[in-house]
Structure 1
Amino acid sequence: MYTAVKVIDCLILLGLYLFFFLGRLKGQPKLTICLKSLYYLYLCTVFYCTLVPIIPTFDAPSINLIPFRDYFFAYGDYHRQIILNILLFMPMGFFMAWHRRRSIFSTTLTCACISFAIEVLQPWITIGRVCDITDLITNTIGALLGCLIYRAFHRFIDKLNVLS
């Protein structure tokens, strides 16, 4: 059941890309097309890792509002979860800074809002997920790091874009 729902969700995302986004990229530099396609693929990966399969649940949501509870009480694979959350949102900070060209604060705040939306949705539209404040914090840190990486290399990336 879950596999079929995941496949359907992925096919919908592929269809959106092919019929909506790809047509809007015509005439742009090759590097821009590649980066925007990677950005879309990345967003689909975040969606897949955090909200798929979409199976609405009407159970009481599971919410953790104690920052780094898993770390302090050594629950599960807390080190891995913290690192993966940071790594998951680093590309978002990078791509959002590149695509939107806003300040570090604005980019990080936008990514934090996206992370917040994901965390709030998780216990409602997926089974067995928890809304966790630690995830929000680590995702935001990852987005900030990604934004800083973009800022460090933006001149180089912009030059490549002009050459393509």
Structure 2
Amino acid sequence: MGNLAFRIESVQVLLPLLAGFAALLAVRAVRRRPGWYGKPMLTRLATALYAAGFLHFTMFPIIVDKSQNLSPWYNQIQPIPLAGLIGMDPTFVLNVLLFAPFGLLLPLLAKAELPVKRVALRALVTSLTIELVQLGMYVWFSNGRGADVDDLIANTLGGVLGCLILRSSALSGLVRGFALPGTALARSATGTVPTPPAPVG
């Protein structure tokens, strides 16, 4: 049996998923489901488009070809912090920009209030997951993906940047209207505050 080799493009996976979500969004918007029409609808659409773009740049194309990239998997790990930045690698800045929408959108979707450090932690965990999946794809599919500690740093910085942009005085009041119902930002936009507990005794 010959070597199995094939390639999966992002459009083959992401386009049907986006089409399905767009249909769901349209149906719920017409029925005026809370959080599915008006500004929150735009937030959901922007999140879906960002997620598709994010996966396009980080996971695709998926190439399965064991005849390629025969070097050991541990050669795909770059553990030296800021090596790319020192070497003027433009991908560091691109990774910061890639995660900036993550930090901006996350507080619009989260039920609980997210301080900057929590957004940073979520960006770090998400980035680490991506790096591990990419490394796993190299091990299983030999598709040339690797893990770079600079990506963790850049992606975390991008998440923090997006969160700080959201919290800036120039955008804060404008963007709060796009928060999904039930989120901390939506409650603060309407002036809703949690009911204090009843006194004991």
* Structure 2 partner of 1:64: 78
- Counterpart CA distance in 2 for 1:56 and 1:65 is 26
* Structure 2 partner of 1:144: 160
1:88 aligns with 2:98: yes
After TM superposition, the score normalised by the length of structure 2 is 0.67
Report SS of the residue matched to 2:9: helix
Report SS of the residue matched to 2:147: strand
Closer/same/farther in 2, CA of residues 24 and 143 from structure 1, 3 Å limit: farther
The sequence identity of aligned pairs, in percent, is: 26
Deviation of 1:55 (Å): 3.8
Further displaced range: 24-33 or 137-146: 24-33
* Structure 2 partner of 1:133: 149
Q: Which one of 45, 50, 57 corresponds to residue 37 of structure 1?
A: 45
- Counterpart CA distance in 2 for 1:137 and 1:32 is 31
Off by >6 Å, runs of 4+ in structure 1: none
Which structure carries more helix by proportion?
A: 1
- Counterpart CA distance in 2 for 1:158 and 1:105 is 20
1:11 aligns with 2:25: no
- Alignment gaps of 5+ in structure 2: 1-5, 180-185, 187-201
Aligned-pair Cα RMSD in Å: 2.7
1:52 aligns with 2:60: yes
Count how many residue pairs are aligned between Structure 1 and Structure 2: 157
* Structure 2 partner of 1:154: 172
- Counterpart CA distance in 1 for 2:78 and 2:46 is 32
Report SS of the residue matched to 1:102: coil
Closer/same/farther in 2, CA of residues 22 and 117 from structure 1, 3 Å limit: farther
After TM superposition, the score normalised by the length of structure 1 is 0.80
Report SS of the residue matched to 2:77: strand
> 1:105-164, CA deviations, whole angstroms, 9 ceiling, x for partnerless residues?
1122111111110011112226112200001100000100100111112222224779xx
Q: Which one of 119, 139, 142 corresponds to residue 107 of structure 1?
A: 119
Report SS of the residue matched to 1:128: coil
Q: Which amino acid letter does the alignment assign opposite residue 174 of structure 2?
A: F
